[in-house]
């Protein structure tokens, strides 16, 4: 499921993150991927050990905690703390699939990457190129969102970032292990949850809503993995 979640960060939050990132030290993005990824990755990232990465990542996670649409779509069990990248001067990232298993900080174990997330921090008019291109059975989907907006998509998707030929593209990115491993099951639960919310707002029959809510939770109970 490819889903656009608008206004995760406010304009003020974006401005604060941008200001901090503009004054930060960056490292070669190839340092954080394996040999295959290094062949097609040309960007910069905040170092994993940077205190700023943790500080800004906490800002992103706090904002996500207030986003019911994000939680309905991802049903998060574990989240890898956000990282931050920068593309400019022709920087790009060729087609790749994200790693299936990633280590969590400290001794927190590992995360199975079910869902990939990109939070845009630069306005689309600030740079040329830089589209996130996600390939699936329906073709290729180009994504270039306003600053503060989030895109979520299956980590199993083949995807790339087009070359940035003008300006600078800043973004946060992270991965989620969902309570629901299967993408098609997550989609069904999300669509059911969305329908329940819409019917509730329209004043639909309370007994029917109760039945639908019960179906949602029983499916969740059947499919959930912890």
Residue 42's H or E segment, with its range, is: strand 41-42
Residues 101 and 189 in one domain: no
Q: How many residues does the chain have?
A: 226
Same domain, 165 and 215: no
The pLDDT-based confidence of 226 (bands split at 50, 70, 90) is confident
Q: Which residue has the tokens 């649409």?
A: 69
Same domain, 55 and 134: yes
71 and 109 housed in the same domain? yes
Quote the crossing angle between the two packed helices 11-22 and 51-64, to the nearest 10°.
170
On whether both 216 and 115 belong to a single domain, the answer is no
Question: What's the pTM?
Answer: 0.95
Question: Within this chain, do residues 93 and 190 fall inside the same structural domain, yes or no?
Answer: no
Q: Are residues 102 and 29 in the same domain?
A: yes
The reply to whether 35 and 97 lie within a common domain is: yes
- Residue 17 sits in a domain whose CATH number is 2.60.120.620
Q: What tens digit of pLDDT does each residue of 167-207 get?
A: 999 999 999 999 999 999 999 999 999 999 999 999 999 99
The partner residues of 167 in beta bridges, in order of sequence, read 127
Last residue of a domain, one of 178, 194, 213: 178
Mean pLDDT of 108-120: 96
Q: Which residue has the tokens 């901090």?
A: 20
Element holding 13 (H helix, E strand): helix 11-22
Q: Which residue range is the domain that position 103 belongs to? A: 3-178
């Amino acid at each position: 499921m490819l889903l656009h979640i608008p206004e995760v960060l406010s304009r003020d939050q974006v401005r604060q993150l941008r200001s901090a990132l503009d004054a930060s030290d960056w490292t070669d993005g190839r340092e954080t991927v394996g040999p295959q990824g290094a062949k097609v990755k040309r960007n910069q990232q905040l170092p994993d050990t940077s205190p700023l990465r943790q500080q800004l990542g906490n800002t992103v996670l706090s904002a996500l905690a207030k986003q019911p649409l994000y939680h309905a779509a991802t049903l998060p069990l574990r989240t890898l703390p956000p990282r931050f990248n920068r593309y400019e001067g022709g920087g790009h990232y060729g087609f790749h699939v994200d790693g299936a298993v990633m280590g969590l900080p400290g001794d927190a174990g590992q995360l199975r990457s079910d869902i990939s997330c990109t939070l845009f921090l630069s306005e689309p008019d600030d740079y040329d190129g830089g589209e996130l291109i996600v390939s699936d059975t329906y073709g290729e989907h180009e994504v270039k969102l306003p600053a503060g907006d989030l895109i979520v998509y299956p980590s199993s998707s083949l995807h790339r970032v087009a070359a940035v030929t003008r300006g600078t593209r800043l973004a946060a990115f992270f991965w989620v292990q969902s309570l629901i491993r299967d993408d098609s099951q997550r989609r069904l639960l999300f669509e059911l949850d969305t329908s329940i919310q819409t019917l509730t707002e329209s004043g639909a029959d309370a007994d029917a809503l109760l039945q639908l809510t019960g179906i949602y939770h029983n499916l969740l109970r059947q499919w959930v993995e912890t």
